[in-house]
Amino acid sequence: MKEGQIRIPAGCAISGIIDKKRNRFNGESIIKSIALMHERSNGLGGGFAGYGIYPQYKNFFALHIFYDNNQIKAKTEEFLSEHFEIESAGNIPTRAVPSIKDKPLIWRYFVQPRIYKVRNLNMDEDEFTARCVIRINKDFLGAYVFSSGKNMGVFKGVGYPEDIGDFYMLENYEGYIWTAHGRFPTNTPGWWGGAHPFTMLDWSIVHNGEISSYDANRRFVEMYGYKCTLQTDTEVITYLLDLLVRRHKLPMEKALQVLVAPFWNDIEKENSKKAEELKALRAVYSSALINGPFSILIGYEDGLIALNDRIKLRSMVSAIKGDKVYFASEESAIRVICKKPENIYHPKGGEPIIVKFEEAK
Amino acid sequence: MIKEMKNITIEVNLKDAKTLNEEIKNSVSAYDEITLNNVYGQRYIGSGINQDVKININGVPGNDLGAYMDGPEIEVFSNAQDAIGNTMNKGRIIVHGSCGDTTGYAMRGGEIFIKGSVGYRVGIHMKEYLDMKPVIVIGSSAGDFLGEYMAGGIIILLGIGVAKEDQLTGKYLGTGMHGGVMYVNGTLPEYKLGKEIKKVELDNNDKKVIKNYIQQYKKYFKYTKDINIDSFSKYVAADKNPYHLLYIKN
């Protein structure tokens, strides 16, 4: 059964860690953190994003793909080799975990776009790769690219997050950002592609909540060539960020002001220059405003961002210890992996917390 | 005859909430005081217990601490998370730290004392009936929607360590409020107030209530500085029945 075929009327858990000096650490601590919030999930989805995990292939796009069967795999690989130089391809290693059932074929490819193709289309490699990912997810029924960034990767599936982490053997990967999600699907049954994180290129999003503006947001991004294929609200946030920051080149702070635009009566209280600017953003990007209850963590190439909806209908706690910054739905999920966290803080509604690496790449 | 006090200590660590709560429930009739060490986010601690027992918590307890509680006193020597005292009926929760969102959610009776700050929607839909009057005392500041849809009870915000009056609470104070009272140490700017509340003068009875809870706060948290009762503002519902127009016959 796939998303959209049934509605289950029904919380989620999120957790994230970043090391600001890009010191890498393995996936055990993020698993321990998300596992503590077991009750927030119901076993219908769990997943992780790790950044800095593929240093040996850091200049290649790492495509993680689910296949329903070998026929669609063969067809998709034909498309891949037509568009990309494939440096390396293979199964993503997994171990047998009793609770993880009905797994698809899970493959990983380190690729570079074929230069002549990119040049002929007069676009950059990121745009080319993004379009290929959208194309596969839209047109290759039974194939789903669930991770497509460089030196980062997503590992997800149907199950409790701690079991999914065990399944993918995340103790064997070392990264400088980890995010995690435990799913409690509120509208749909849960399938491998519908688990969080959702990605596009280097973007990854984990989300607790529900986007009530989903359809307005979806129509907006689809005008720019994206295609929402997963019947799950969170994916649209990923495409909004990709559109606003990568393609429209908005500074991150402004892009986040679009997503959680201040209320009109709060804009009125700003000085005229600032108010003018905020009004312009709301006017141009009215369809990119995200409404509904959410707390999200956004992983990207420069760092990690935490964001709540404007009236904070979901929980989020942050803390600092040394070079690491922690975020989680619950304070205890930080304390279980960080003995004496400092600066415990509850980000306010609509107040983004942006943590960037101290040195750019 | 003086009853002998009996104590028990439970090492919690990563024990699941269900096992822990069964253990607590099995201990309440045999012990007067239960101490939980190394608590990590276990939910529902103390929920539904209707005996006089003292529960000490070391570590951060999980959501819905003391939900539906009917008698015990819980003392948390750390921060607490969301929805503590959810629909609590009787007893007391003392938190030597700060709390998350929806503290005292739909509370019906009893008292909650928080040394530090609280998150969003604290005291949402608190209610009162005759002598059942729940109370939340907040040491420092509160987030948006304090006292949202409040129908009864008392919220007292002491503002300790808060530099400016506009940082005492978030916005939308008392949105949808139709009963109960909020005492805030300072005067909030008009834009922080929800549409359904108004500021009224303190009378002597109000001062007595505030004084009493300040004394208790000082005792629980060993706070020694003076708090000026005359600087408090009183906020109540502007209309006892703001929704009557929603229920016209048709």
Domain segments of chain A as ranges: 13-208+297-356
Name chain B contacts of A269, Cβ cutoff 8 Å.
Answer: 191
Q: Decide: A301 and A18 in contact? Cβ < 8 Å.
A: no
pTM: 0.95
**B1 CB neighbour count, 10 Å cutoff:** 3
The neighbouring-strand residues paired with A174 are A26
Is residue A128's pLDDT more than 90? yes
8 Å CB contact of B17 and A269: no
**Residues of B numbered 23-62 whose beta carbons fall under 8 angstroms of chain A's beta carbons: which are they?**
39-41, 43, 59-62
The token duo for A133 is: 């990912």
Average confidence (pLDDT) over B24-30: 94
Task: Give the containing element (helix H, strand E) for B234.
Answer: strand B232-237
What average pLDDT does range A92-111 have in this prediction?
A: 96
Looking at the complex, report in whole angstroms how far the Cα of residue A336 sits from the nearest Cα belonging to chain B.
7
Task: Give A163-222 pLDDT, tens digit per residue.
Answer: 999 999 999 999 999 999 998 876 666 789 889 999 999 999 999 999 999 999 999 999
Pick the CATH number of A13-208+297-356 from 3.40.50.880, 3.60.20.10, 3.40.50.2300, 3.30.1360.70: 3.60.20.10
Q: Of B39, B81, B172, which has the smallest distance from its Cβ to A330's Cβ?
A: B81
Query: In chain B, what's the furthest Cα-to-Cα distance?
Result: 66
Q: For residue B17, give the nearest of A344, A315, A40 by alpha carbon.
A: A40
Cβ neighbors of B53 (< 8 A, separation 6 or more) are: B28, B31, B32, B33, B34, B71, B72, B73
Residue among A12, A132, A228, A338 flagged as catalytic: A12
User: Which pLDDT score is estimated for A75?
Assistant: 98
Per-residue pLDDT tens for A53-83? 999 999 999 999 999 999 999 999 999 999 9
Query: For B106, phi and psi rounded to 5 degrees?
Result: 55, 30
Chain A residues interacting with chain B (CB cutoff of 8 angstroms): 36-39, 265, 269, 311-312, 315, 317, 330-333, 335-336, 344, 346, 348-349
Q: How many CA atoms lie within 13 A of A236 on its CB side?
A: 24
Which residues of chain B are within 8 Å of residue A346 when distances are taken between CB atoms? 100-101, 119, 143
Contact A332 B43 (CB under 8 A): no
Cα distance from B217 to chain A (closest Cα, Å)? 23
Among the residue ranges A28-37, A183-192, B131-140, the one predicted with the least confidence is: A183-192
Distance CA A205, CA A207 (A): 6
- Per-residue model confidence (pLDDT) at position A329: 97
Q: Report pLDDT digits (tens) over B98-131.
A: 999 999 999 999 999 999 999 999 999 999 999 9
Verify whether residue A228 is a known catalytic residue.
Answer: no
User: Per-residue pLDDT tens for A253-285?
Assistant: 999 999 999 999 999 999 999 999 999 999 999
* DSSP-based helix, strand, coil % in chain B, nearest 5: 15, 30, 55
Q: Do B81 and A332 touch (CB under 8 A)?
A: yes
What pLDDT is attached to residue B11?
Answer: 98
Inform me whether the pLDDT recorded for A7 exceeds 50.
Answer: no
> Could you report the per-residue pLDDT of B29-61, keeping only the tens digit for each?
999 999 999 999 999 999 999 999 999 999 999
Q: Which of B21, B79, B118, B172 to mutate to test the interface with A (most CBs of A within 10 A)?
A: B79
A-B contacts (CB, under 8 Å): 61
**How far apart, in whole angstroms, are the C-alpha atoms of residue B185 and residue B160?**
9
User: Given an 8 Å threshold on Cβ–Cβ distance, is B120 in contact with A312?
Assistant: yes
B75, β-bridge pairs? B56, B94
User: Is the pLDDT at A2 greater than 70, yes or no?
Assistant: no
| Contact criterion met (CB < 8 Å) for B40 and A311 | no
Which among A182, A150, A155, A233 has a CA at the least distance from the CA of A33?
A: A182
* SS3 call for B75: strand
Identify the architecture of domain B98-241 in CATH: 3 Solenoid (2.160)
DSSP B96-164: SS---SSTTTT--SSEEEESS---SSTTTT---BTTB--EEEESS---TTTTTT-EEEEEEE--TT--S
pLDDT attached to residue B211: 98
Identify whether A197 is preceded by a cis peptide bond (ω within 30 of 0): yes
> Considering only CA atoms, which of A215, A106, A81, A213 is closest in space to residue A167?
A106
Span between the terminal Cα atoms of chain B, in Å: 66
Whether residues A311 and B144 touch (CB distance < 8 A) is answered with yes
Q: How far is A152 from A55, CA to CA, in rounded Å?
A: 9
Q: Is pLDDT above 50 for A10? A: no
- Phi, psi values for residue A104, rounded to 5°: -75, 180
Please name the residue of chain A whose CA is at the shortest distance from the CA of residue B15.
Answer: A36
- Kindly indicate the confidence band of residue A3, based on its pLDDT and cuts at 50, 70 and 90: low
Task: Name the 3-class secondary structure at B237.
Answer: strand
The residues facing A188 across adjacent strands are none
Strand order in the sheet with A84-91: A84-91, A105-113, A61-67, A143-147
Query: How much is the ipTM here?
Result: 0.94
Lowest mean pLDDT among A180-189, A311-320, B70-79, B119-128: A180-189
pLDDT of residue A303: 98
Average model confidence (pLDDT) for chain A?
94
What six digits make up the tokens of A210?
């529900």
The C-alpha atoms of residue A183 and residue A180 are separated, in whole angstroms, by: 10
What's the token pair of residue B1?
Answer: 């005859």
Q: For the residues of A248-286, what is the DSSP string, one character each?
A: S---HHHHHHHHTPPPHHHHHTS-HHHHHHHHHHHHHTG
Partners of B10 in beta bridges: B36
